A = this chain, B = another copy of it.
Amino acid sequence: MVHSKGKKLVVVAKSNKLSASLEDYLEAIFNLAGESNVARSKDIAKLLGVAKPSVTGALKNLAKKGLVNYRPYGYVTLTDSGVAEAARVAGKHSIIKSFFVNILGVDAEVAQEAACKAEHALGPAIVSRLLDFTDFITQTNGSGSDLADKFKRFRKRRRQGSRKQISKQPRK
Residues of A near any B CB (own CB < 8 A): 1-5, 16, 24, 27-28, 47-50, 84, 88, 100, 103-107, 110-114, 116-118, 120-126, 128-130, 132-133, 135-136, 140, 150-151, 154-155, 158-159, 168-170, 172
Contacts and interface: CB of A to CB of B under 8 A. Distances in A.
Nearest to A31: B1
Contacts of A48: 1-3
Contacts of A24: 1
Contacts of A130: 104
A125 B110 contact: yes
Nearest to A124: B169
A47 B129 contact: no
A132 B158 contact: yes
Contacts of A135: 158
A126 B100 contact: yes
Contact of A151 (B104, B120, B136, B151): B136
Contact of A106 (B4, B125, B158): B125
Nearest to A115: B121
Nearest to A130: B104
Contacts of A111: 126
A47 B1 contact: yes
Contacts of A151: 132-133, 136
Contact of A49 (B3, B27, B88, B132): B3
